Chain A
Amino acid sequence: MKRLIKLKVNGEVYEVAIHQHRTLAEVLREELDLIGTKEACNEGDCGSCTVILDGKTVTSCLTLAIEADGKEIRTIEGMAAKDGKLSPLQQSFVDHGAIQCGYCTPGMVMSATALLEENPKPTEDEVRMGIAGNICRCTGYTKIVEAILATSEGGK
């Protein structure tokens, strides 16, 4: 039996009928066509599926879609402004060369966004701890950390 749920994603309400065993990652990608959120390990280790759920980052591959019913979800698609202008953090990623293949990037941006919203002036260690749940196979993290520090309050 499918259940009807309401997901508020990036400010817009979507009503979808889904099976109870669907994860939030699957529903975002397959029902709502929001494919910015990625599925890589599918077991909550890599962080590529990271979204912000009621203000906290979660791995959407381990979140049941029915448990997200009625909650506020922010995905990578909601980071840029309506006119397409990148958020300061996104622009910083571009400016610092913090993107290679781009697959970790949506999850990385969500984790970094949540980190800076909670801790606007993180130390480098705090940044590294804050993105420890997002694995990057390409960059070696240096430029990512620089991009995040540059966006933080007091960053250059």
Chain B
Amino acid sequence: MRLPRFEYLSPQTVQEACSLLSQHGDKARVKAGGTDLLNQMKERIIKPEYIIGLNSISDLDYIEADADKVRIGALTTLTTLNNSQVIKDKFPCLAAVPNKMATVQIRNMGTLGGNLCNAAPSADSAPILICLGAQAKIVGPNGDRLVALEDFFTGPGQTVLGDDEILAEIQVPDQAANTGGAYLKMSRISVDLALVGVAVVLTMDGDTCKDIKITLGAVAPTPIRAKKAEKALKGKKIDEGLIEKAGKIASDEASPIDDVRSSAFYRTEIVKVYTKRAIRQALEGTK
């Protein structure tokens, strides 16, 4: 499988990349790690005439802590994210995610921005980031905008990005005290995509759940919040009975399909089990 022919362009700034996108329209695609893009091209699913290489832009690869949030450049590789002490300190539940994704080699090449913009319903980086309240900073010829990550995905492989826009940064706000989180992924083998992903981030006030977010991956056209399950727990004292109830509600909120990785029936069951386990693990993280 050879790649189809294309012309490779190397913008030096994000603005230059956006204007190249404007110029070439749907004949161009941006390239970060390329681990999804190049495969789609090899399979002739897409045949862009122009590849806009983002790797020549020097200031899209960073993890920086501000006073109230951490900003992650879109071209940060999954390996860099995995090794970041800042992320381990501030968001241990996020630091644990890259190791569940793909392989060492793919993590060395693949980027956080790329994983989000590829927008697979099973994207592993999405659920925990949504639970953490992450925002996507999108850059275009007309300026920047911030979009809540939970509003970023519009369908399988589809995002709110306009044709001439680029995802430049992911912002993760500092979490309140007594917050814990967990992301559980089920896959056929260790390096596979998720057939179910469940992320939970909760904040406790003594025995009471002050706030909770539950995001399900791979069981709907996009990652989705399990808002009814959240409502069952928010403001309540968490006990095993309530956790059981939340698991059942979350599994009803999912709308999985049968595919090569799993069946809708099995996925529904696993959402229930993993929601319960993720809540318990998140609780452990608050201690």
A residues adjacent to B (C-beta < 8 A): 1, 19-23, 26, 42-45, 47, 50, 56-59, 62-64, 66-67, 111, 114-115, 129-130, 132-133
Q: Which residues of B contact A64 (CB under 8 A)?
A: 8, 31, 34, 38, 51, 53
Of the candidates A21, A114, A129, the one whose C-beta lies within 8 Å of that of B6 is A21
What's the least CB distance linking A23 to chain B, in Å? 7
Q: How far is the CA of A115 from the CA of B105 in the complex (A)?
A: 11
A111 touches B105 (CB 8 A): yes
Instruction: Count residues on chain B whose CB falls below 8 Å from chain A CBs.
Output: 28
Q: How far is the CA of A1 from the CA of B31 in the complex (A)?
A: 20
Give the secondary structure class of A's interface.
Answer: mixed
Q: How far is the CA of A126 from the CA of B7 in the complex (A)?
A: 40
B103 touches A132 (CB 8 A): yes
Q: Is B191 an interface residue (CB 8 A)?
A: yes
What's the least CB distance linking B282 to chain A, in Å? 24
CB-nearest residue of chain B to A22 = B3
A57 touches B104 (CB 8 A): yes
Q: Which residues of B contact A58 (CB under 8 A)?
A: 105, 108-109
Given contacts A19-B5, A23-B3, A43-B39, contact A67 B55 (CB under 8 A): yes
| Complex A-B: 21 CB contacts under 8 Å | A1-B7, A19-B5, A20-B8, A21-B2, A21-B3, A21-B4, A22-B3, A43-B42, A50-B105, A56-B79, A56-B108, A62-B35, A63-B109, A64-B34, A67-B53, A67-B55, A114-B104, A129-B99, A129-B104, A129-B190, A132-B190
Q: How far is the CA of A59 from the CA of B110 in the complex (A)?
A: 11
What's the least CB distance linking A150 to chain B, in Å? 21
What's the least CB distance linking B41 to chain A, in Å? 9
Q: How far is the CA of A1 from the CA of B5 in the complex (A)?
A: 10
B residues adjacent to A (C-beta < 8 A): 1-8, 31, 34-35, 38-39, 42, 51, 53, 55, 79, 99, 102-106, 108-109, 190-191
Given contacts A42-B42, A44-B39, contact A133 B6 (CB under 8 A): no
* 5 extra A-B contacts, CB within 8 A, seeds A20-B8, A114-B104, A129-B99: A23-B38, A42-B1, A43-B1, A56-B79, A59-B105
Given contacts A44-B39, A58-B109, A64-B8, contact A130 B104 (CB under 8 A): yes
Q: Which residues of A contact B1 (CB under 8 A)?
A: 42-43
B53 touches A62 (CB 8 A): no
Q: How far is the CA of A133 from the CA of B104 in the complex (A)?
A: 6
Q: How far is the CA of A92 from the CA of B11 in the complex (A)?
A: 46
CB-nearest residue of chain B to A41 = B1
B42 touches A57 (CB 8 A): no
B103 touches A62 (CB 8 A): no
CB-nearest residue of chain A to B56 = A67
A21 touches B105 (CB 8 A): no
Q: How far is the CA of A21 from the CA of B49 in the complex (A)?
A: 11
CB-nearest residue of chain A to B41 = A21
CB-nearest residue of chain A to B189 = A132
CB-nearest residue of chain A to B31 = A64
B105 touches A133 (CB 8 A): yes
Q: How far is the CA of A132 from the CA of B103 in the complex (A)?
A: 6
What's the least CB distance linking B79 to chain A, in Å? 7
What's the least CB distance linking A26 to chain B, in Å? 8
Given contacts A21-B2, A62-B38, contact A47 B105 (CB under 8 A): yes
Q: How far is the CA of A74 from the CA of B240 in the complex (A)?
A: 53
Which of B7, B34, B38 is packed against the most chain A CB atoms within 10 Å?
B38
Q: Which residues of B contact A133 (CB under 8 A)?
A: 102-106, 191
